[in-house]
Amino acid sequence: MRLVVKMKSNKLILPLNYKSIIQGVIYNMMNREKEGNFYHNYGYHKQEKIYKMFVFSDLYGQYKIENKKIIFSDVIKLYIGALDKELFKIIYEYLIQNDYLFINNQKVNIAGIDILNLPHFNGVKDIIIKTISPVVTYTCKDKYFTYYNPQAKEFENLVRANINHKMQAYNYPTKECIFKINEVIYKKKKLVHFKNTFYEAYKCELAISTNYESLKIIYDTGLSAKGSCGFGMIEYKNEKSILSI
């Protein structure tokens, strides 16, 4: 499941690359000595790879860009997904117990919360997914990064490997990982700066074949790498709201 956090602000001013700020807001919802320490410093391991098992979207709402800043006004939406039910509960309870958030030292009112659910299905299904934060897919050798766009065969292979590694790291019960790209409907490259690194990322819409277990990993943790940094969150057109507060 995932949360849609609806916020209101007359004027929220952020740098154009604000992902690390939003990540910090989410970590601040956790107890620093308990789950905050685990997710920030440890996470789930598959050999040398570490997965935090949560993902968040870009911010959505009315905005304008001035002096290399993005300025949001009125209603702003943020999507947060987590595979771990306990982490999901912690974030949810924090949000319902507080009337506002501080984003980049600015007070933003919490106007409402929706909980979205991924409908269960059996077997393999052909669906369309769309990124609501750009996806980044790469390999690294000798500190040199090679990035892949959604039309590259390596992209599909790396996404499938990422799903498998997350399943194994989390000990997720499933028989088979299924992810096949049938068509790249749309793609647009975007350079995204996160902390000290520029990433070559893509906004895209994909027609895929998948099973429920594989889609749930993508839905709750992000498509490919860096979900906990705000990359690769997707929406699935048949997801539905099961609760609004």
d(CA 35, CA 148): 33
Q: Is 120 labeled as catalytic in the residue annotation? A: no
d(CA 37, CA 52): 11
Give the active site residue among 18, 39, 40, 42.
Answer: 40
For the residues of 113-166, what is the DSSP string, one character each? Answer: EEEEE-----SEEEEEEEESS-BB-EEEETTEEEE--TTSHHHHHHHHHHHHHH
Torsion angle, CA of 200/41/4/238, rounded to 10 degrees?
Answer: 70
59, two tokens = 């911010």
Q: Is 27 labeled as catalytic in the residue annotation? A: yes
SS3 93: helix
Point out the residues that are catalytic.
27, 40
